[in-house]
């Protein structure tokens, strides 16, 4: 038996079940044109099993990596869809990680003013974070997620067995987003990481991985249901992301997204004891906890961030586990903080 999470306001269904990929047709009408969007890093067996369930599959494979999240990719795929005769009632099916999910969701949101999109996220990062909530975007001028829309998937199928093909680094990088969820809203979720800190050299027991994913998804669900379009509360999910995205833009493709979020959390935290505790968890997960960076370069990128209003930037701060909050700071404050708290 799997776990079912329904996002009522967003009309999204999230199915969490091992091997659910083999019977997607029980939940979605696949008897229409189905664009299966994936990248060349996704194991072919995951794509093939979806193709075999579709009477009319159309496969589009993009290059793996953040470089595919571009307006050029959007234009190429939209033109191809039009040439293939995709209509309003057809389906976008994203199979892969965050890049595929973001790109597929964005294209679905604009093609014919919106077609249905579902996804099979195949990485810990996409299962825990990017697959739900409806944030879809591409990058512009090396700035992450600068062009996008809010567009909810109708169904998300989380098959925890697909992460078996990930490297240890990919696996734990994705779990950083769950660590973040625990820090801002679920102290028990953080406790799972802290309790198993000595186990990370091997792996987290499968039963706990399932609980981690479910708890992290519920943190995001509760926040998104209250604030779908990031007017206020949803910004809590950006803990570690403001600085993390800056580092990601500077160092791409040296670091994975989750690694940058981990670095971003350490960089922004004011509570030294909490920072040390998080650092221990990240180190055990094999994540980087130190980076040399140019503060001027980071500040310059922050000025392009949507959370900067011309005088202050809204950051997410955590002093007590499970209780994230907002703090408006000036760029001068941020510069002084980074100079005094190099990691």
Question: Could you list the pLDDT tens digit for every one of the 343 residues in the chain?
Answer: 689 999 988 889 999 999 999 999 999 999 999 999 999 999 999 999 999 999 999 999 999 998 999 999 999 999 999 999 999 999 999 999 999 999 999 999 999 999 999 999 999 999 998 888 899 999 998 788 889 999 999 999 999 999 989 999 999 999 999 999 999 999 999 999 998 877 776 666 666 889 999 999 999 999 999 999 888 999 999 999 999 999 998 998 899 999 999 999 999 999 999 999 999 999 999 999 999 999 999 999 998 887 888 889 999 999 999 999 999 999 999 999 999 999 8
Distance CA 19, CA 2 (A): 10
Nearest to 293 by CA among 339, 253, 238, 241: 339
Tell me which architecture the domain covering 168-340 has in CATH: Up-down Bundle (1.20)
Every domain range in the chain assigned CATH 1.20.1090.10:
168-340
Pairing of the two strands 312-320 and 323-330: antiparallel
How high is the pLDDT of residue 46? 98
Every domain range in the chain assigned CATH 3.40.50.1970:
3-162
Q: Which two tokens stand for residue 78?
A: 């939209």
CATH of segment(s) 3-162: 3.40.50.1970
How high is the pLDDT of residue 208? 82
Say if CB 121 and CB 46 are below 8 A apart. Answer: no
Dump the DSSP string for 63-81. Answer: PSSGGGSSHHHHHHHHHHH
Nearest to 98 by CA among 47, 160, 144: 144
Nearest to 42 by CA among 111, 108, 98: 98
How high is the pLDDT of residue 155? 97
Distance CA 68, CA 46 (A): 20
Distance CA 173, CA 229 (A): 26
Distance CA 54, CA 58 (A): 9
Peptide bond into 297 cis (omega under 30): no
Distance CA 299, CA 297 (A): 6
């Amino acid at each position: 038996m799997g776990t079912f999470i329904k996002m009522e306001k967003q009309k999204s269904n999230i199915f969490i079940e091992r091997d659910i990929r083999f019977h997607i047709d029980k939940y979605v009408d696949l008897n229409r044109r189905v664009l299966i969007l994936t990248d060349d890093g996704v194991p072919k067996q995951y794509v093939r099993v979806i193709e075999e369930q579709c009477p009319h599959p159309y496969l589009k494979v993009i290059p793996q990596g953040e470089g595919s999240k571009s307006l050029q990719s959007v234009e190429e795929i939209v033109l191809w869809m039009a040439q293939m005769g995709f209509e309003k009632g057809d389906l976008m099916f994203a199979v892969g990680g965050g890049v595929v999910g973001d790109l597929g969701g964005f294209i679905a949101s604009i093609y014919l003013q919106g077609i249905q999109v579902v996804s099979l996220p195949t990485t810990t990062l996409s299962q825990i974070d990017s697959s739900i909530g409806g944030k879809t975007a591409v990058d512009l001028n090396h700035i992450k997620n600068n062009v996008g829309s809010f567009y909810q998937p109708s169904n998300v199928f989380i098959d925890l067995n697909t992460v078996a093909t990930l490297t240890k680094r990919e696996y734990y990088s994705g779990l950083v987003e769950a660590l973040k969820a625990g820090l801002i809203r679920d102290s028990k979720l953080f406790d799972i990481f802290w309790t198993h800190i000595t186990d990370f050299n091997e792996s987290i027991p499968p039963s706990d991985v399932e609980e981690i994913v479910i708890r992290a998804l519920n943190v995001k669900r509760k926040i998104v249901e209250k604030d779908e379009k990031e007017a206020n509360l949803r910004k809590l999910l950006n803990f570690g992301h403001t600085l993390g995205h800056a580092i990601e833009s500077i160092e791409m493709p040296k670091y994975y997204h989750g690694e940058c979020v981990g670095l971003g959390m350490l960089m922004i935290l004011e509570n030294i004891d909490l920072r040390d505790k998080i650092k221990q968890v990240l180190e055990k997960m094999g994540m980087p906890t130190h980076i040399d960076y140019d503060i001027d370069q980071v500040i310059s990128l922050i000025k392009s961030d949507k959370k900067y209003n011309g005088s202050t930037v809204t950051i997410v701060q955590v002093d007590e586990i499970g209780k994230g909050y907002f703090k408006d700071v000036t760029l001068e404050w941020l510069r002084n903080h980074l100079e005094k708290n190099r990691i």
